Copies of this chain bind each other. A is one copy, B any other.
Amino acid sequence: MTLSDSDSPGARPDGAPSALSRYRAMQLCRRFEETVHERFHSDEGVPGPLHLAIGQEAVAVGACHDLRPTDVITSTHRGHHHCLAKGARPDRMMAELLGRRTGYSHGRGGSMHVAIPEIGLLGTNGIVGGGIPIATGAAYGLQVQERDDVVICFFGEGASAEGVFHEALNLAALWKLPIVFLCENNQYVELAAQDLHVAGEIWKRGAGYDVPGVHVDGNDIDAVTAAVDAAVARARAGEGPTLIEALTFRWFGHYAGDKAAFRTDEEVETGRAGDPVARARQALDPAEVAAADAAVEAEIAAALEFALASPISGADVLYLDHQATA
């Protein structure tokens, strides 16, 4: 693979004032997912499951926009926005989701198995909570190497019920690891509302470990940015972990195709009203927005074109990358 991931057009600050840059990054996530969502229902379709984060862009971009390529994140089964915000190339992401040879994992893995260590992305994950121990280990690795890089560990409110969340909080607090536990509360856990899953409030659980707990409006890009920047600064300074719960809303079903019929129209309307991309847009100069939108459209179009022009992955990819010697 000759493509380089060093300078992704996705989310690195691009010289534009950062409010605009953040907006552009959110719009990229939004349009990327809308585009694969359309493909999903097209004839060719997407050869695997799709968990859309449409409506949750502010959490990913607010958290990742200001990170360094050497900072690390772990994502989830619903992680397109995390990947793009951390600098994944939309074209290779698109290729992976469409099962193309040029995808990040040769089109074998799809949405739940995008991992790009060279940009600090230790993977979306098919296992709920599966990224939490990895994030903790990465933070330990950074600490051992005395780097002032940090780790952001994304997980959902449903994942907060997994034992590893607690194991990680306790250990990270004991070791003062450079990590931010970012709970992306989109108010739904698979096929039901979160009332079945969360006792009490997640952000309040930090106190039991002497870890600061923060609650933030996950649809407000500035609020997320401020909360995460503070937590990241704390982590870089060696002061240990922070637990942030960002409240947002899952616009669609659990997976593309799931109608989430249990939700009332009002519920969905109210939820979508908090649209973080629209909110960010209002604060910006319409001309700049138009330019940014045009740039995003071009980038998405190019990404789709790249993916569709790439060969569909054949059986040969099954045998790759099992061992160094293989």
Q: What residues of chain A have their CB less than 8 Å away from a CB belonging to chain B?
A: 161-167, 169-171, 173-174, 196-202, 204-211
Contacts and interface: CB of A to CB of B under 8 A. Distances in A.
A200 B196 contact: no
A200 B211 CA distance: 8
9 contacts: A163-B163, A165-B166, A173-B199, A174-B198, A199-B209, A199-B210, A200-B209, A200-B210, A208-B208
A241 to B, nearest CB: 10
Contact of A204 (B164, B171, B208): B208
What is the total number of copies of this protein in its complex? 2
Max chain B Cβ within 10 angstroms of own Cβ: one of A166, A169, A202, A211: A166
Given A206-B208, A207-B207, 4 more contacts: A163-B165, A165-B166, A199-B210, A201-B208
A207 B200 contact: yes
Nearest to A201: B208
- Pairs of residues from A and B, 10 with the lowest C-beta to C-beta distance, nearest first: A163-B163, A166-B166, A205-B208, A173-B199, A199-B209, A200-B210, A200-B209, A163-B167, A174-B199, A204-B208
Contacts of A167: 161-163, 166
Contacts of A209: 199-200, 205
For A171, A202, A204, A209, the residue with the greatest tally of chain B CB atoms inside 10 Å of its CB is A209
Contacts of A196: 174
Contacts of A200: 173, 207-211
